[in-house]
Every structure is written in structure tokens, then in C-alpha cells.
Amino acid sequence: MLTDLLDQNLEWARQKRQEDPNYFKRLSEQQQPDYLWIGCSDSRVPANVITGLAPGEVFVHRNVANLVHRGDLNLLSVLEFAVESLGVRHIIVCGHYGCGGIKAAMDGHRHGIVDHWLQPIRDVADQNRKDLDTIVDPGTRINRLCELSIAAQVDALGRTPIIQSAWQRGKELSIHGWVYGLSDGLIRDLDCNRVGSAMGS
Ligand code: CO
């Protein structure tokens, strides 16, 4: 099976060179993505594929259930590099309906280390208990929690010192919350954007 991957890679690189002989030379010299994508690790939600973006066009960070933990050095390093060095203009937090991470956070079972990772989802659920309790269908309720969690991650990103500092210096930078539908392949904008509003200014 791994041989298949390497064969497919050979064919892909050959096609790219055929379309544009300078393609790899140009890409190897620099990347100038306008977007930072923070998405779920789920194999069905690949940033480049679902947005039609080519290599070099989106900087990507993925973790289980697209969460923004304030002490996550991995995410913070990606964020700082994307904002300060690459100069991305848009940060997109994209979750997806039917997210296994959201389900695991709420099913009452023990899954291991990931239970610690998923705690922010339970916090969001607790903060929105009234709203969620009005939804009878369990699938619809999980999907609503999925949307609420995405909005909470957008909010958490906007409060990081990295973003606050960028906004204070007048950087044009917006944060968006999107949700992807596994069953129809469509992305919906959740209208929870944050645009350059440094706290206290
Ligand atoms: Co997921």
C-alpha cells in the first residue's frame, strides 16, 4: 500500500512539472499563504482539498476537534509564525458536523488522554446548557455544540496575546468560524468573525 502512495507521488510531481516546469522551484523558494487554517484532524476534512487551495496557499494546523488550548505550544508557535512571519490575513477555525471529538467529549465514557484534551468542549456545553437542552434530537444537539465550540475557539484565539498584539499594531487580520458538512461537502460561515478589536482600545 505504501508503494501506491510513492507511485502516486511520482505521478503527481510529474504532472505538476509538465503543467509548469518552474512549479517546484518557485514553491521551494517561498510560501506566501493568506490563510491560517485551524481544523480537525479528521481525515475527511482536508483543508486544501475542500477549499480548492493549492500547495503554498494555506498554512495548516490540525488537532482533535479543532481546539484552541491557551497553553498549547504547538498551536501558539504555528499562530505566531503565521501572523508575524507569514503575515496571513485570515485565520479560519473550521470544525465539522459529526465530529468524533465532540461526541467523545459528551458520551460519558472514558477514552484516555483525549478526555483531558476535550475538556473545553464540556465547558462550552456547560456554559450553553439551557440552549442545548431545548434540542431534543441527539444528533442535532451535538451539531449545535459543534457550532458553539467553534465560536468559542474563535473567541479564545482573539484573546491570545499574539492576536491582541497584532491588532494593537493595526495588522489587518480577521478570525472566522466555519463548519463543514461531511454529508454534503459544504462549508458554512457561522458569522462569529473577529476583526481587529484589541481589548481596551
Ligand atoms: Co472532528
Segment 108-135, tens digit of pLDDT: 999 999 999 999 999 999 999 999 999 9
The answer to whether residues 93 and 86 touch, using CB atoms and an 8 Å cutoff, is: no
Q: Give the global pTM.
A: 0.94
- Give the pLDDT confidence of 85-116 residue by residue, as tens digits: 999 999 999 999 999 999 999 999 999 999 99
CA distance 188 to 152: 16
Q: What is residue 61's three-state secondary structure?
A: strand
Give the count of beta carbons closer than 10 Å to the beta carbon of residue 34: 13
Judge whether 192 counts as a catalytic residue.
no
As given in the structure block, the three cell numbers for residue 86 are 507569514
Name the active-site residue from 96, 144, 176, 194.
Answer: 96
Residue 30: what pLDDT?
Answer: 85
Residue 137 has pLDDT above 80, yes or no: yes
Q: Cα(79) to centroid of ligand 1, in Å?
A: 20
Judge whether 44 counts as a catalytic residue.
yes
- Nearest CA to 169 out of 139, 149, 143, 196 is that of 196
Q: Cα(60) to centroid of ligand 1, in Å?
A: 15
Q: Cα(57) to centroid of ligand 1, in Å?
A: 23
Residue 182: what pLDDT?
Answer: 97
Q: Cα(173) to centroid of ligand 1, in Å?
A: 25
Burial of 45 (0-12, 13-18, 19+ CB in 10 A): buried
Q: Cα(103) to centroid of ligand 1, in Å?
A: 9
Residue 199: what pLDDT?
Answer: 60
- Nearest CA to 76 out of 165, 196, 193 is that of 165
Judge whether 146 counts as a catalytic residue.
no
CA distance 93 to 91: 7
The answer to whether residues 168 and 159 touch, using CB atoms and an 8 Å cutoff, is: no
Name the active-site residue from 14, 17, 26, 44.
Answer: 44
Residue 197 has pLDDT above 80, yes or no: no
Name the active-site residue from 61, 94, 99, 176.
Answer: 99
Residue 196: what pLDDT?
Answer: 78
- Give the pLDDT confidence of 16-72 residue by residue, as tens digits: 999 999 999 999 998 899 999 999 999 999 999 999 999 999 999 999 999 999 999
Name the active-site residue from 42, 61, 144, 194.
Answer: 42
CA distance 1 to 101: 28
- Give the pLDDT confidence of 146-170 residue by residue, as tens digits: 999 999 999 999 999 999 999 999 9
CA distance 164 to 168: 6
Which domains does the chain show, CATH number per domain? 1-30 (no CATH), 31-195 (3.40.1050.10)
Residue 201 has pLDDT above 60, yes or no: no
Judge whether 40 counts as a catalytic residue.
yes
